[in-house]
């Protein structure tokens, strides 16, 4: 999970200072030294680290903090506030044009996930009621146009391409097509390189001059650390970026790029890529990201994911069934399928306060697949009334799903226990209604 190493080190520091009833300036100095080392090991820009430690140290060494009843908690709050500021302070939103179409130019080196990110943005904005058009302006990389066509189709949006024509002409024609077809957003997928060169920058500038984009977003690989920040500086010098998108934040990211790019370039991070699927994209919330890095969780993002994955109407029907003791294995299967839409279980756990400590647990995600296989091997009657599943039926279900009879028995037992628990829970909540959460 992202920032795992940094989070672990910072939590170790915080545990020590909160265990003390009183802090001295020496305690704060020692804690800041360890925080400094943790940030440097995470590949955060050394100038950024120096300024960060100076700001935190000045505020944490004040008498109001050291003489408070909870000095350790006060220091942690100061670190969180300063880290939020370091990450950008407030969320930076895309500036949509008052008169459509809004033109978004995507830049980046090869291997950063730029083309896929174009489709992710298109799908996200389509969900928000917009009509995006993808423009294939990368005419050099093998199969780049084909790749954009594939991900565009998966996202359910139109893709404009003219083969390996002049990228500037393609951009101009894409804009005309968008105006003709009432597309209110055009996303230009431009060419990347293995490294920055004059020819690429010149082409990007010509495209920018031709279409005058409202947003110029740089896609950088969060796993490359300071290399990502260096690339952002170089692109911004020539293109005047409006923002940055960090990809691969679901990997073993040390955190250097995320914590450095805004401070070094002055350009805000606007989105974060959190996986390979087209739905794995999030607006970048500095305060939420700071909480994740410090191991405090990110409950708001977890709630939003649940709201997106679980349909409100289905949840209301489910509550009625639970109250009337009519819950079936079909309902259970439907909830599991919606749960999977939220993403890997490990990612969800990391959003809980202290969830990073669970990263070492063996999370058997295949258990969900086995449970689905068992239920899908049942007849409709068996799913609706598990009590009719006798010995011979259990043998048939086990054989059909490729599991042992004991696995079928365990599922049926757990289902009955869950039904009782959920009914008791719904009764206690009364008229307030149930939480919109999975089983």
Residues 311 and 275 in one domain: no
Query: What is the residue range of 52's domain?
Result: 4-86
Residues 283 and 312 in one domain: no
| Secondary structure class of 190 (helix, strand, coil) | strand
Q: Is 94 within a domain?
A: no
Q: Write the CB contacts of 139 (distance below 8 Å, at least 6 apart in sequence).
A: 145, 163, 164, 165, 167, 170, 191
* Number of H-type helices and E-type strands within the chain: 20, 8
Residues 288 and 329 in one domain: no
For the record, the structure tokens of 421 come out as: 């628990």
Residues 268 and 331 in one domain: no
> What's the length of the chain?
439
CB-facing half-sphere around the CA of 6: CA atoms within 13 A: 27
Q: Write the CB contacts of 412 (distance below 8 Å, at least 6 apart in sequence).
A: 386, 389
Q: Taking a C-beta distance cutoff of 8 angstroms, is the pair 37, 53 a contact?
A: no
Q: Is 346 within a domain?
A: yes
Q: Is the peptide bond before 70 cis (omega within 30 degrees of 0)?
A: no
Residues 331 and 418 in one domain: yes
Residues 322 and 283 in one domain: no
Residues 124 and 264 in one domain: yes
Q: What is the pTM of this model?
A: 0.69
Residues 286 and 359 in one domain: no
Q: Write the CB contacts of 338 (distance below 8 Å, at least 6 apart in sequence).
A: 309, 310, 311, 314, 438
* CATH code at position 41: 1.20.120.140
| Secondary structure class of 159 (helix, strand, coil) | strand
- From first to last of its 439 residues, the chain has per-residue pLDDT tens of 557 778 888 888 888 888 877 888 888 899 999 999 988 888 888 889 999 999 999 888 887 777 776 788 888 889 889 999 998 888 899 989 999 999 999 998 888 889 999 999 999 999 999 999 999 999 987 789 999 999 999 999 999 999 989 999 999 999 999 999 999 999 999 988 777 778 888 999 999 999 999 999 999 887 777 777 888 888 888 888 999 998 887 765 566 777 888 888 889 999 988 888 898 898 998 888 888 788 765 555 555 555 555 555 665 666 666 666 677 888 887 777 766 666 665 565 555 555 555 444 444 567 778 888 999 999 999 998 888 999 999 999 999 999 999 999 988 988 888 777 766 655 544 444 444 433 3
Q: What is the rounded CA–CA span in Å between residue 437 and residue 287? A: 24
For the record, the structure tokens of 284 come out as: 């970048």
Q: What share of the chain is helix, strand, coil (3-state, %, to 5)?
A: 60, 10, 30
Cα separation values, 245 from 106, 112, 182, 394, Å: 9, 10, 27, 51
Residues 24 and 149 in one domain: no
DSSP structure string for 85-118: HHTTSS-------SSSPEEEEEE--TTS-HHHHH
Q: What is the domain count for the chain?
A: 3
Q: Is 33 within a domain?
A: yes
Q: What is the rounded CA–CA span in Å between residue 240 and residue 137? A: 19
| Beta strands 132-137; 102-107: pairing state | unpaired
For the record, the structure tokens of 408 come out as: 């079928």
Residues 140 and 264 in one domain: yes
DSSP structure string for 364-391: -THHHHHHHHHHHTS-HHHHH-GGG--H
Residues 132 and 168 in one domain: yes
Q: Is 241 within a domain?
A: yes
Hey, what long-range contacts does 308-315 have (CB within 8 A, 24 or more apart)? 308/341, 308/342, 309/338, 309/339, 309/341, 309/342, 310/335, 310/338, 310/436, 310/437, 310/438, 311/338, 312/436, 314/338, 315/434, 315/436
Residues 106 and 152 in one domain: yes
């Amino acid at each position: 999970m992202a920032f795992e190493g940094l989070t672990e080190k910072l939590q170790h520091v915080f545990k020590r200072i909160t265990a003390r009833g009183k802090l001295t300036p020496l305690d704060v100095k020692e804690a800041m030294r360890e925080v400094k080392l943790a940030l440097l090991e995470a590949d955060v820009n050394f100038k950024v680290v120096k300024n960060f430690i100076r700001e935190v140290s000045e505020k944490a060494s004040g008498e109001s903090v050291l003489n408070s009843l909870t000095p350790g908690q006060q220091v942690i709050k100061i670190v969180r506030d300063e880290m939020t500021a370091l990450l950008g302070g407030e969320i930076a939103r895309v500036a949509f044009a008052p008169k459509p179409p809004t033109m978004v130019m995507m830049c980046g080196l090869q291997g950063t996930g730029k083309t896929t990110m174009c489709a992710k943005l298109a799908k996200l904005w389509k969900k928000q009621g917009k009509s995006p058009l993808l423009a294939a302006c990368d005419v050099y990389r093998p199969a780049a146009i084909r790749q954009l066509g594939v991900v565009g189709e998966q996202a359910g949006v139109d893709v404009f391409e003219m083969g390996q024509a002049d990228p500037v002409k393609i951009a101009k024609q894409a804009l005309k097509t968008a105006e003709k077809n009432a597309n209110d957003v055009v996303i230009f997928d431009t060419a990347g390189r293995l490294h920055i060169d004059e020819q690429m920058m010149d082409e990007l500038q010509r495209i920018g001059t031709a279409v005058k984009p409202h947003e110029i977003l740089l896609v950088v690989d969060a796993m490359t650390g300071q290399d990502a920040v260096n690339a952002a500086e170089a692109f911004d010098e020539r293109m005047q970026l409006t923002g940055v998108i960090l990809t691969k934040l679901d990997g073993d990211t040390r955190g250097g790029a995320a914590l450095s790019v805004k401070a070094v370039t002055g350009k805000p991070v606007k989105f974060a890529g959190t996986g390979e699927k087209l739905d794995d994209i999030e607006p970048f919330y500095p305060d939420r990201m700071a909480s994740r890095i410090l191991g405090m969780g990110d409950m708001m993002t977890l709630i939003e994911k649940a709201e997106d994955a679980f349909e409100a109407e289905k949840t209301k029907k489910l509550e009625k069934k639970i109250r009337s003791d009519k819950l079936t294995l079909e309902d259970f299967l439907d909830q599991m399928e919606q749960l999977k839409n939220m993403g890997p279980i490990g990612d969800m756990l990391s959003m809980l306060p202290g969830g990073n400590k669970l990263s070492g647990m063996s999370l058997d995600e295949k258990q969900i697949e086995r449970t689905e296989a068992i239920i899908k091997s049942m007849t409709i009657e068996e799913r609706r009334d598990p009590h009719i599943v006798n010995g011979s039926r259990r043998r048939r279900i086990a054989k059909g799903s490729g599991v042992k009879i004991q696995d079928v028995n365990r599922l049926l037992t757990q289902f009955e226990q869950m039904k009782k628990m959920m009914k008791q829970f719904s009764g206690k909540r009364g008229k307030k209604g149930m939480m919109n959460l999975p089983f």
